[in-house]
Amino acid sequence: IALDDFGTAIRRKLFSFEDIIRIETQDLQRILREVDSGNLAIAMKSCSEALREKIYGSLSKRAAEGLREEIELLGPMRLKDVEAAQDVIIQSVRRLEEEGQITLDANAEAVVA
């Protein structure tokens, strides 16, 4: 395995829910179309405000308002349930990346004009 490939493999394995903030908006929109909104609401219970705003900003105004309401209606939740919901979304992110539909680390991609 080449060193670059090894580094990429490690980054993919260590990908956390908070790392979604680094994903380009277009790719995030692709992810959000794939995931269940109820599961997303649960997953967002413990995320940073910055990640919440990135996710809301990637949705239509109506969808963002609906998601905010759904999160508020959930009330207190066990951390293990929130982490389980986050894991489901991370699995979707990894699958989309493996299928070439999204890029996890846009900064690592070489671009030639």
The domain ranges of the chain are 3-104
The confidence band for 104, taking pLDDT boundaries of 50, 70 and 90, is confident
Q: At what angle do helices 79-98 and 25-34 cross, to 10 degrees?
A: 110
Q: Are 92 and 35 in contact (CB under 8 A)?
A: yes
Gap between the Cα atoms of 88 and 23, Å rounded? 17
* Domain covering 3-104: architecture: Orthogonal Bundle (1.10)
Helix (H) or strand (E) holding 10: helix 3-13
Q: What is the pLDDT of residues 44-87, one digit of tens each?
A: 999 999 999 999 999 999 999 999 999 999 999 999 999 999 99
> What are the C-alpha distances in Å from 93 to residues 13, 22, 28?
12, 12, 9
pTM: 0.80
